[in-house]
Amino acid sequence: MNFHGSDIISVNQFDLADVTTLFTLAHRMRGIAKGETKCKLLEGAILGNLFFEASTRSRMSFASAFMRLGGQVNSTTGFAFSSMDKGESLSDAITVIKDYCDALVIRHPQIGAAQEAARYADIPVINAGDGAGEHPTQALLDLFTIFEERKVVNGSTIAFVGDLKFGRTVHSLAKLLTLYQGVNYVCIAPPQVQMPDLLIQEIRSKGFDITLTDDLETGVRSADVVYSTRIQEERFEDKMEFETIKDLCVLNRKIVTEKCKKDVTIMHPLPRTSELSTDLDSMPNAAYFRQSANGVLVRMALFLLLLGRESQLV
Protein backbone atom coordinates (compact mmCIF):
# COMPACT_ATOMS: atom_id res chain seq x y z
CA MET A 1 0.00 0.00 0.00
CA ASN A 2 1.12 3.52 -0.72
CA PHE A 3 0.12 5.10 2.57
CA HIS A 4 0.32 8.72 1.42
CA GLY A 5 -3.22 9.94 0.75
CA SER A 6 -4.82 6.55 1.48
CA ASP A 7 -7.85 5.83 3.62
CA ILE A 8 -7.72 3.23 6.38
CA ILE A 9 -11.03 1.40 6.34
CA SER A 10 -10.26 -2.28 6.88
CA VAL A 11 -7.44 -4.55 8.02
CA ASN A 12 -7.76 -6.31 4.66
CA GLN A 13 -5.83 -3.42 3.12
CA PHE A 14 -2.59 -4.38 4.83
CA ASP A 15 0.12 -6.74 3.69
CA LEU A 16 3.14 -7.74 5.71
CA ALA A 17 5.32 -4.98 4.28
CA ASP A 18 2.71 -2.34 5.23
CA VAL A 19 2.49 -3.59 8.77
CA THR A 20 6.27 -3.65 9.08
CA THR A 21 6.56 -0.09 7.75
CA LEU A 22 3.90 1.09 10.17
CA PHE A 23 5.32 -0.65 13.23
CA THR A 24 8.89 0.45 12.56
CA LEU A 25 7.67 4.02 12.53
CA ALA A 26 5.33 3.53 15.51
CA HIS A 27 8.24 2.22 17.56
CA ARG A 28 10.11 5.45 16.89
CA MET A 29 7.15 7.51 18.17
CA ARG A 30 7.59 6.53 21.81
CA GLY A 31 9.73 9.48 22.84
CA ILE A 32 7.40 11.96 21.16
CA ALA A 33 4.29 10.32 22.63
CA LYS A 34 5.76 10.62 26.13
CA GLY A 35 6.36 14.31 25.54
CA GLU A 36 10.11 13.80 25.82
CA THR A 37 10.78 14.91 22.24
CA LYS A 38 8.94 17.78 20.57
CA CYS A 39 7.61 17.19 17.09
CA LYS A 40 6.17 19.79 14.75
CA LEU A 41 5.75 17.68 11.64
CA LEU A 42 1.99 18.26 11.60
CA GLU A 43 2.15 21.90 12.66
CA GLY A 44 -0.59 23.81 10.85
CA ALA A 45 -2.52 20.62 10.10
CA ILE A 46 -6.06 19.95 11.37
CA LEU A 47 -7.67 16.63 12.22
CA GLY A 48 -11.45 16.33 11.96
CA ASN A 49 -12.20 13.93 14.80
CA LEU A 50 -15.78 12.89 14.09
CA PHE A 51 -17.33 10.66 16.73
CA PHE A 52 -20.98 10.11 15.93
CA GLU A 53 -21.01 7.42 18.62
CA ALA A 54 -19.77 7.14 22.18
CA SER A 55 -16.05 6.62 22.74
CA THR A 56 -14.01 8.79 25.04
CA ARG A 57 -10.89 6.66 24.93
CA SER A 58 -10.60 6.20 21.15
CA ARG A 59 -11.46 9.84 20.54
CA MET A 60 -8.83 11.03 22.99
CA SER A 61 -6.24 8.58 21.65
CA PHE A 62 -6.59 9.82 18.06
CA ALA A 63 -6.61 13.42 19.27
CA SER A 64 -3.48 13.02 21.38
CA ALA A 65 -1.70 11.28 18.52
CA PHE A 66 -2.38 14.21 16.20
CA MET A 67 -1.51 16.79 18.85
CA ARG A 68 1.78 15.11 19.75
CA LEU A 69 2.85 15.62 16.15
CA GLY A 70 2.11 19.34 16.38
CA GLY A 71 -1.34 19.31 14.73
CA GLN A 72 -4.62 20.63 16.03
CA VAL A 73 -7.90 18.77 16.46
CA ASN A 74 -11.42 19.84 15.53
CA SER A 75 -13.82 17.41 17.24
CA THR A 76 -17.47 16.58 17.18
CA THR A 77 -19.30 14.14 19.43
CA GLY A 78 -22.74 12.65 18.90
CA PHE A 79 -25.53 13.49 16.50
CA ALA A 80 -27.45 15.88 18.69
CA PHE A 81 -25.35 18.87 17.69
CA SER A 82 -24.98 17.84 14.10
CA SER A 83 -26.63 19.06 10.92
CA MET A 84 -27.21 15.34 10.29
CA ASP A 85 -29.80 15.70 13.02
CA LYS A 86 -31.67 17.88 10.50
CA GLY A 87 -31.71 15.05 7.96
CA GLU A 88 -28.45 15.78 6.18
CA SER A 89 -26.74 12.86 4.46
CA LEU A 90 -23.37 11.62 5.67
CA SER A 91 -21.93 12.28 2.22
CA ASP A 92 -22.93 15.96 2.34
CA ALA A 93 -21.61 16.38 5.87
CA ILE A 94 -18.27 14.85 4.90
CA THR A 95 -18.05 16.82 1.64
CA VAL A 96 -18.32 20.00 3.69
CA ILE A 97 -16.17 19.03 6.67
CA LYS A 98 -13.29 17.66 4.57
CA ASP A 99 -12.56 21.24 3.50
CA TYR A 100 -11.92 22.21 7.11
CA CYS A 101 -9.33 19.51 7.73
CA ASP A 102 -6.27 17.60 6.50
CA ALA A 103 -7.43 14.21 7.73
CA LEU A 104 -10.62 12.71 9.15
CA VAL A 105 -11.23 10.10 11.80
CA ILE A 106 -14.78 8.82 11.84
CA ARG A 107 -16.71 6.60 14.22
CA HIS A 108 -20.26 5.94 13.18
CA PRO A 109 -22.89 3.41 14.28
CA GLN A 110 -23.57 2.17 10.72
CA ILE A 111 -21.47 -0.41 8.98
CA GLY A 112 -19.94 1.02 5.82
CA ALA A 113 -20.10 4.63 7.05
CA ALA A 114 -16.34 5.17 6.97
CA GLN A 115 -16.08 3.73 3.46
CA GLU A 116 -18.90 6.03 2.39
CA ALA A 117 -17.13 9.00 4.00
CA ALA A 118 -13.90 8.12 2.21
CA ARG A 119 -15.66 8.28 -1.15
CA TYR A 120 -16.52 11.93 -0.55
CA ALA A 121 -13.34 13.11 1.13
CA ASP A 122 -10.22 13.89 -0.88
CA ILE A 123 -8.21 13.70 2.33
CA PRO A 124 -7.24 10.57 4.30
CA VAL A 125 -10.10 9.00 6.27
CA ILE A 126 -9.53 6.58 9.14
CA ASN A 127 -12.31 4.25 10.20
CA ALA A 128 -12.49 4.40 14.00
CA GLY A 129 -15.32 1.87 14.14
CA ASP A 130 -18.40 1.54 11.94
CA GLY A 131 -20.93 -0.40 13.97
CA ALA A 132 -20.57 -4.13 13.48
CA GLY A 133 -17.91 -3.39 10.85
CA GLU A 134 -14.24 -2.76 11.55
CA HIS A 135 -11.99 -0.67 13.77
CA PRO A 136 -8.71 -1.32 12.00
CA THR A 137 -6.39 0.80 14.17
CA GLN A 138 -7.46 -1.29 17.17
CA ALA A 139 -6.27 -4.45 15.40
CA LEU A 140 -3.06 -2.71 14.38
CA LEU A 141 -2.30 -1.58 17.91
CA ASP A 142 -3.09 -5.09 19.17
CA LEU A 143 -0.64 -6.62 16.73
CA PHE A 144 1.93 -3.92 17.46
CA THR A 145 1.62 -4.77 21.13
CA ILE A 146 2.43 -8.43 20.45
CA PHE A 147 5.57 -7.25 18.69
CA GLU A 148 6.57 -4.83 21.39
CA GLU A 149 5.94 -7.40 24.13
CA ARG A 150 7.31 -10.53 22.44
CA LYS A 151 9.47 -9.34 19.49
CA VAL A 152 8.10 -12.16 17.33
CA VAL A 153 4.74 -13.26 15.91
CA ASN A 154 5.69 -16.16 13.63
CA GLY A 155 5.05 -19.47 15.34
CA SER A 156 3.12 -17.97 18.24
CA THR A 157 0.00 -19.39 19.82
CA ILE A 158 -2.70 -16.80 20.34
CA ALA A 159 -5.70 -17.66 22.51
CA PHE A 160 -8.81 -15.56 22.07
CA VAL A 161 -11.22 -15.60 25.02
CA GLY A 162 -14.73 -14.23 25.44
CA ASP A 163 -17.20 -13.04 22.85
CA LEU A 164 -15.60 -14.30 19.66
CA LYS A 165 -18.82 -14.17 17.70
CA PHE A 166 -19.54 -10.45 17.85
CA GLY A 167 -16.10 -9.26 18.98
CA ARG A 168 -15.03 -6.85 16.25
CA THR A 169 -11.50 -6.51 17.62
CA VAL A 170 -11.05 -10.30 17.69
CA HIS A 171 -12.04 -10.71 14.06
CA SER A 172 -9.75 -7.96 12.84
CA LEU A 173 -6.73 -9.14 14.82
CA ALA A 174 -7.34 -12.75 13.74
CA LYS A 175 -7.23 -11.64 10.13
CA LEU A 176 -4.09 -9.57 10.54
CA LEU A 177 -2.32 -12.53 12.12
CA THR A 178 -2.70 -14.51 8.89
CA LEU A 179 0.02 -12.26 7.44
CA TYR A 180 2.48 -14.27 9.54
CA GLN A 181 3.85 -17.84 9.52
CA GLY A 182 2.80 -20.70 11.73
CA VAL A 183 0.46 -18.83 14.04
CA ASN A 184 -1.73 -21.16 16.11
CA TYR A 185 -5.21 -19.95 17.00
CA VAL A 186 -7.03 -21.12 20.11
CA CYS A 187 -10.61 -19.87 20.37
CA ILE A 188 -11.99 -20.17 23.89
CA ALA A 189 -15.69 -19.40 24.13
CA PRO A 190 -19.05 -20.94 24.92
CA PRO A 191 -20.64 -22.29 21.73
CA GLN A 192 -23.16 -19.44 21.61
CA VAL A 193 -20.41 -16.87 21.11
CA GLN A 194 -17.71 -18.90 19.34
CA MET A 195 -15.75 -17.59 16.37
CA PRO A 196 -17.91 -17.33 13.20
CA ASP A 197 -17.60 -20.29 10.81
CA LEU A 198 -16.69 -18.06 7.89
CA LEU A 199 -13.70 -16.64 9.70
CA ILE A 200 -12.61 -20.08 10.90
CA GLN A 201 -12.72 -21.33 7.30
CA GLU A 202 -10.77 -18.29 6.09
CA ILE A 203 -8.03 -18.89 8.65
CA ARG A 204 -7.89 -22.65 7.99
CA SER A 205 -7.85 -22.10 4.21
CA LYS A 206 -4.67 -20.12 4.66
CA GLY A 207 -3.07 -23.12 6.34
CA PHE A 208 -3.29 -22.14 9.99
CA ASP A 209 -4.21 -24.36 12.92
CA ILE A 210 -7.29 -23.23 14.77
CA THR A 211 -8.60 -24.98 17.90
CA LEU A 212 -12.06 -24.35 19.34
CA THR A 213 -12.86 -25.03 22.97
CA ASP A 214 -15.16 -23.88 25.73
CA ASP A 215 -12.71 -24.76 28.45
CA LEU A 216 -10.64 -21.82 29.56
CA GLU A 217 -8.14 -23.73 31.71
CA THR A 218 -7.00 -26.15 29.04
CA GLY A 219 -7.35 -23.60 26.27
CA VAL A 220 -4.84 -21.14 27.69
CA ARG A 221 -2.10 -23.76 28.42
CA SER A 222 -0.18 -23.43 25.19
CA ALA A 223 -0.84 -19.73 24.63
CA ASP A 224 1.93 -17.19 24.20
CA VAL A 225 -0.71 -14.48 24.10
CA VAL A 226 -4.14 -14.55 25.72
CA TYR A 227 -6.46 -11.97 24.20
CA SER A 228 -9.44 -11.52 26.52
CA THR A 229 -12.63 -9.72 25.55
CA ARG A 230 -15.82 -8.66 27.20
CA ILE A 231 -19.03 -10.64 26.68
CA GLN A 232 -21.71 -8.04 26.16
CA GLU A 233 -24.95 -8.62 28.05
CA GLU A 234 -26.93 -6.87 25.30
CA ARG A 235 -26.09 -9.72 22.92
CA PHE A 236 -28.23 -12.16 24.93
CA GLU A 237 -32.00 -12.25 24.95
CA ASP A 238 -31.92 -14.70 27.84
CA LYS A 239 -30.23 -12.94 30.76
CA MET A 240 -29.88 -16.23 32.66
CA GLU A 241 -27.90 -17.63 29.79
CA PHE A 242 -25.63 -14.59 29.92
CA GLU A 243 -25.02 -14.98 33.64
CA THR A 244 -24.01 -18.62 33.18
CA ILE A 245 -21.75 -17.94 30.25
CA LYS A 246 -19.88 -14.90 31.39
CA ASP A 247 -18.25 -16.67 34.32
CA LEU A 248 -16.75 -19.33 32.04
CA CYS A 249 -14.39 -16.79 30.50
CA VAL A 250 -13.04 -14.99 33.55
CA LEU A 251 -9.28 -14.60 33.56
CA ASN A 252 -7.63 -14.01 36.91
CA ARG A 253 -4.29 -14.29 38.68
CA LYS A 254 -4.91 -17.85 39.83
CA ILE A 255 -5.58 -19.15 36.34
CA VAL A 256 -2.70 -17.22 34.78
CA THR A 257 -0.28 -18.38 37.46
CA GLU A 258 -1.40 -22.03 37.53
CA LYS A 259 -2.45 -22.71 33.95
CA CYS A 260 -0.55 -20.36 31.62
CA LYS A 261 3.02 -20.28 30.40
CA LYS A 262 5.22 -18.25 32.74
CA ASP A 263 5.87 -15.55 30.15
CA VAL A 264 2.34 -15.39 28.73
CA THR A 265 1.21 -11.97 27.52
CA ILE A 266 -2.28 -10.95 28.66
CA MET A 267 -4.09 -8.52 26.39
CA HIS A 268 -7.54 -6.92 26.35
CA PRO A 269 -8.97 -4.13 24.15
CA LEU A 270 -10.60 -2.46 27.17
CA PRO A 271 -12.88 -1.38 28.71
CA ARG A 272 -13.12 -4.52 30.81
CA THR A 273 -15.70 -5.58 33.30
CA SER A 274 -15.53 -8.79 35.34
CA GLU A 275 -13.92 -10.99 32.64
CA LEU A 276 -10.44 -9.69 33.45
CA SER A 277 -9.67 -9.64 37.14
CA THR A 278 -7.88 -6.61 38.56
CA ASP A 279 -5.65 -8.99 40.54
CA LEU A 280 -3.74 -9.42 37.29
CA ASP A 281 -2.89 -5.73 36.98
CA SER A 282 0.35 -5.87 38.92
CA MET A 283 1.73 -8.91 37.03
CA PRO A 284 4.36 -8.12 34.38
CA ASN A 285 2.35 -10.32 32.01
CA ALA A 286 -0.55 -7.86 32.08
CA ALA A 287 0.05 -5.95 28.85
CA TYR A 288 -3.39 -4.37 28.42
CA PHE A 289 -2.57 -0.90 29.67
CA ARG A 290 0.65 -0.83 27.63
CA GLN A 291 -1.57 -1.98 24.77
CA SER A 292 -3.87 1.04 25.04
CA ALA A 293 -0.86 3.34 25.31
CA ASN A 294 0.53 1.75 22.13
CA GLY A 295 -2.59 2.98 20.35
CA VAL A 296 -1.23 6.51 20.38
CA LEU A 297 2.06 5.35 18.80
CA VAL A 298 0.35 3.42 16.01
CA ARG A 299 -2.02 6.30 15.27
CA MET A 300 0.86 8.78 15.22
CA ALA A 301 2.74 6.62 12.72
CA LEU A 302 -0.39 6.25 10.63
CA PHE A 303 -1.01 10.00 10.52
CA LEU A 304 2.57 10.64 9.41
CA LEU A 305 2.33 8.02 6.67
CA LEU A 306 -1.12 9.06 5.41
CA LEU A 307 -0.07 12.70 5.28
CA GLY A 308 3.27 11.85 3.68
CA ARG A 309 5.38 13.39 6.42
CA GLU A 310 7.27 10.34 7.70
CA SER A 311 10.35 11.10 5.63
CA GLN A 312 10.73 14.41 7.47
CA LEU A 313 11.16 12.65 10.80
CA VAL A 314 14.62 13.31 12.17
Among 12, 16, 20, 92, binds a second copy (CB under 8 A): 92
Contacts of 52 (CB under 8 A, 6+ apart): 76, 78, 79, 82, 84, 106, 107, 108, 109, 113
Which of positions 275-294 make contact with a second copy (CB under 8 A)? Answer: 289, 292-293
Among 16, 54, 132, 152, binds a second copy (CB under 8 A): 54
Cα–Cα nearest to 161, from 217, 218, 216: 216
The secondary structure of 197-246 as a DSSP string is HHHHHHHHHTT-EEEEES-HHHHTTT-SEEEE-PPPGGG-S-HHHHHHHH
Nearer to a second copy, 78 or 182 (CB): 78
Nearer to a second copy, 38 or 262 (CB): 38
- Cβ atoms of 39 and 65 within 8 Å: the answer is no
Told to check if 95 binds a second copy by CB under 8 A, we report yes
DSSP 283: S
Told to check if 46 binds a second copy by CB under 8 A, we report yes
Closest approach of a second copy to the CB of residue 248, in Å? 19
Closest approach of a second copy to the CB of residue 84, in Å? 8
Among 18, 21, 30, 74, binds a second copy (CB under 8 A): 74
Contacts of 4 (CB under 8 A, 6+ apart): 305, 306, 307, 308
Closest approach of a second copy to the CB of residue 218, in Å? 29
Told to check if 63 binds a second copy by CB under 8 A, we report yes
Pairing of strands 46-51, 103-108: parallel
Query: What residues make contact with a second copy under the rule CB under 8 A?
Result: 35, 38-39, 43-46, 48, 51, 54-57, 59-61, 63-64, 67-68, 70, 72-74, 76-78, 80-88, 92-93, 95-97, 99-102, 270-273, 289, 292-293, 296
